[in-house]
A and B are shown apart, each in its own frame.
Chain A
Amino acid sequence: MTAPIAASTITGTAASVAGEPMLVLEEVNTYYGQIHALQGVDLSVAEGEIVTLIGANGAGKTTTLKTISGLLHPRHGTVRFEGTDVSRTPAHLLVRRGIGHAPEGRRIFSRMSVLENLMMGAFTRETPTIPPDLERVMTLFPRLRERSHQLGGTLSGGEQQMLAIGRALMSHPRLLLLDEPSLGLSPILVQQIFAIIREINSQGTTVLLVEQNALQALSIAHRAYVLQTGRVVLAGPAKDVMSNETVRKAYLGED
């Protein structure tokens, strides 16, 4: 466990352009049975941003993403997406509303081909809208085009991660949730993946990124939240968070 960080040394509020930000979490409490995983998380993501969520193992990062995408539901508190309360909305409907989730551990369909995986991502889409999205994904990840008939399970780790992100993009999300895209990848591939995330964002997709690789995540994010034992302990512009002394000690490996 890392040393506790003094709460809110930097005050961070989402830069809302007009009215409410795209995604707002208020006092979200999520449980796994008796385990109180999220203990009142407040968070917001404005349209067009890359926001990153960093923290140690077990801090609640993945739980937060799952709560947003409807794979879990909060016991208390609300999740609002584009102004509507979606705390109780099941995951499959949130995909239609524009939340794409590339879950932790990639979870690609290893026994389907790359193309089939991508088509599963487009499950909620109307047929005529699929080819442009497919083209976009194939352009972002030329590797996937090369391997489109190969089984997902035969891809390397980096390619599987590309496939997971590509599949999430096939639902044409306005908000993309990425859970540890750098996990288990070589440094060069991590660089590539982060460059692509920035590219996706510049094409107009809002990104909420969960990472353990805090330095990389902070370097591409606009804003950041630091999560510790189910609470947000620090929030603010990525630059400020990166220069915060406690964060540097706890997550960036400085003495």
Chain B
Amino acid sequence: MTAMTSARPTTGPSSPRARLQAFAHLHRSATIIASMVLITVAMILLPQVPPLSFIQRSDAWYDTFANAGVFILLAMGLNVVVGLAGLLDLGYAAFFAIGSYTYAYSNSPFSHQNLPFLPMLAVGAAVAAVFGIALGAPTLRLRGDYLAIMTLGFGEIVPIMFLNLDKWTEGTNGIGGIFRPEPLPLLGEFTPLSPFAYYILSVMIVTLAMILLYRMQDSRIGRAWNAIREDELAAAANGINTVTTKLLAFAIGATTAGFAGVFNASKLTIVSPEQFLFAVSFSVLAMVILGGMGNIWGVAAGAFVVYLIQIVLLKQLNGIVENLNVPFLTKVNFLDYQYLLFGIALVLMMLFRPEGLFPSQRRRRELHIADELEGPIDEPGVIGSMGETPGADETFNEAAGEDVPGHDR
């Protein structure tokens, strides 16, 4: 007991690192903006010097970074649903699709519309949020596996609808020729030859989303998500409206996917159903898990790393192997093994670092709860229920008959 109670000083942070963390926590938005500016500048400069400049031209790098922004947004949004509220969503790409198609309808020869980009960013997010609530409302009674299966179904339904309603969606061809955003102040023109403007725009959207998500995570709502993730009944008994809180998690996740969708459609200039298959939902979930569920910076970094590996590294690996002329490896297309590598990475991760590459403080503590239990237990009277098996001692008195599992709402 003595060692544990003194583990954390209660009187202000002492080490410079802790002081920096405390400062960052207090000035969240300013820290995010400052960090993003630094990262952006670094990412403008780095592609112009080796080794990055050997791999591809700097414009190609900016294009890659802009695309990575889409996945960073998706991962941060899914993190709200899975990492913060603890609701497993396997059909997250559906909201991405809805955001993308919303922009396609507002800016394409197909719909004869050409609406301004920035308002459409908000509209796309709002439409996705409405669908998030529409999906959330009937599924809220479900938990765990059942919720996952429902969302999986929704994730399948949406692209199939876009595929089969060809009168309204051009079916498998998708909606093409989508108009790019109109020139914006500071960023200039958006053309296929100038990915730089897209890159900066992507950074701005990511920064905005990050600030909003951090604000939510630090607020009452964030704490309510956390409580629901741990124990829904206890959360309700503490005065949390579990229905609206879970709905909000779905809506916020969908909103972020909506942002990503609008940006993606405006950049690719085509949307088609096969862009939103299960593989996307799965990839984003893997990014969240690899990055460090529950930590916004962590999942953003995870998404960035995974995307770069997928898009740049595997492609380059093919080139490198060809140049080296290794006899049997030259026949291997590494991109084909993308999901195999994903799978292996996830298995290794669960074995050796289940909290992810960049875990939140909370997750790290949760998953290493056993470490905190080390040391002698100096309470002879109350040995029985320790952390890892809460409620184990209830078997003494046998759970009361009325407590049928699954009926405890």
User: Residues of A at under 8 Å CB distance from B?
Assistant: 32-33, 35, 37, 57-63, 66, 69, 71-72, 90-92, 95-96, 101-112, 116, 119-121, 123-124, 146-160, 167-168, 171, 180, 183-186, 188-189, 212
* CB <8 Å contact, A58 and B387: no
- Kindly identify which residue among A105, A146, A154 contacts B372, using a CB–CB cutoff of 8 Å: A154
Chain A residues with CB under 8 Å of B26's CB are none
CA distance A75 to B233 in the complex (A): 20
| CB-based nearest B residue for A148 | B10
User: B-side binding surface: helix, strand, loop or mixed?
Assistant: loop
Chain B residues with CB under 8 Å of A104's CB are 400, 403
A120-B227, A156-B382 given as contacts; is B234 within 8 A of A108 (CB)? yes
| CB-based nearest B residue for A158 | B382
* CB <8 Å contact, A96 and B239: yes
B332-368: which residues lie under 8 A (CB-CB) from chain A?
Answer: 362, 365-366
Chain B residues with CB under 8 Å of A37's CB are 402
A33-B407, A37-B402, A71-B237 given as contacts; is B394 within 8 A of A183 (CB)? yes
* CB <8 Å contact, A156 and B404: no
- Kindly identify which residue among B7, B399, B409 contacts A71, using a CB–CB cutoff of 8 Å: B409
Closest beta carbon of chain B to A179's beta carbon, Å: 9
Given contacts A96-B239, A108-B234, A151-B369, 7 further A-B pairs with CB under 8 A are A35-B404, A92-B242, A95-B238, A105-B391, A110-B387, A123-B238, A212-B397
CA distance A147 to B239 in the complex (A): 24
* CB <8 Å contact, B386 and A156: yes
CA distance A111 to B234 in the complex (A): 13
* CB <8 Å contact, A92 and B400: no
Chain B residues with CB under 8 Å of A152's CB are 387
Closest beta carbon of chain B to A55's beta carbon, Å: 9
- Kindly identify which residue among B8, B220, B369, B391 contacts A111, using a CB–CB cutoff of 8 Å: B369
CA distance A124 to B236 in the complex (A): 11
A151-B387, A159-B382 given as contacts; is B236 within 8 A of A71 (CB)? yes
Closest beta carbon of chain A to B69's beta carbon, Å: 32
A-B pairs, top 3 by smallest CB distance, nearest first, are: A58-B401, A153-B387, A95-B239
Q: Please name 29 pairs of A and B residues whose Cβ atoms are closer than 8 Å in the assembled complex, sorted by A.
A: A32-B402, A37-B402, A57-B400, A61-B402, A62-B400, A62-B402, A66-B408, A71-B236, A71-B408, A101-B237, A104-B403, A107-B237, A109-B234, A110-B387, A119-B223, A120-B223, A149-B10, A150-B372, A151-B372, A154-B4, A154-B372, A156-B377, A156-B379, A156-B385, A183-B394, A183-B396, A184-B394, A188-B381, A189-B382
Closest beta carbon of chain B to A105's beta carbon, Å: 5
Chain B residues with CB under 8 Å of A33's CB are 407
B1-35: which residues lie under 8 A (CB-CB) from chain A?
Answer: 1, 4-5, 7-8, 10
* CB <8 Å contact, B397 and A183: yes
